[in-house]
Copies of this chain bind each other. A is one copy, B any other.
Amino acid sequence: MLHGELIIKVITVLGTAAFALSAVLAALDKKVDIFTVIVLGTITAVGGGTIRDCILDSPVFWSMDISYIVIAVVASIAGFFFFPLIQLKKINKLYLYIDALAIAMFAVQGTDKAWSLGFGLPVAPVILGTITAVGGGIVRDVLLQRPSLLLTKELYAIPVALGCLSYSLVLSFAPQYSSSGALFSAGLIVFMRHLSIQKQVIVPNWAIINRGK
């Protein structure tokens, strides 16, 4: 179990940094300053969880452990100076997989937090888990005036939502398997992100509205 906790800790640190770095990459063609990079990096890293906690009316998670903020700020500053590294093909792929692990873990954790508070069971935890994982990135894109992930065909938010749904189904119908259900759901998200990153799978055409026009 201690082993599991260590893995979670590592993914949290790497994932928070990966979220912050995504803001650096998103900001590249806007010529923003280092302060804005830090702001956007931090919002991307902790924004989703902040919205979740406001909706859940529970204390904002980073008020009790500011290391999330510190990691996001440090990663943003590092990204400001070393962003060409993340653009290198191999490192970029590594970065995308770290990001995939992070959204998978944050999605499952967000679902779990809402569930354990008995918040709008069994539907609302799916929403809160999804907000946790993708909310920060959406706010980042709005502030950068670029189309958010909701407007692209990339498989990003859909895997997250399906993972949260899968975990909620486990918690509803087979709560005794919650641990393996969490792992399975996170794995589902990572697998779908893998299909997107490696095989360029996108949202199928039948799922696009008004596609004929």
Contact = CB atoms under 8 A, between A and B. Distances in A.
A54 to B, nearest CB: 5
Interface string A36-69: 1101101000000010001101011011101001
A201 interface: no
Interface residues of A, number: 55
A66 B120 contact: yes
B211 A63 contact: no
A176 B208 CA distance: 52
Nearest to A79: B209
Interface of A: 24, 27-37, 39-40, 42, 50, 54-55, 57, 59-60, 62-64, 66, 69-70, 80, 83, 119-121, 123-124, 127, 138, 142-145, 147-148, 150-151, 153, 157-158, 161, 203, 207-211, 213
Given A35-B161, A70-B123, 12 more contacts: A24-B209, A28-B210, A33-B208, A33-B209, A34-B207, A37-B209, A40-B150, A50-B55, A57-B57, A64-B120, A66-B124, A143-B151
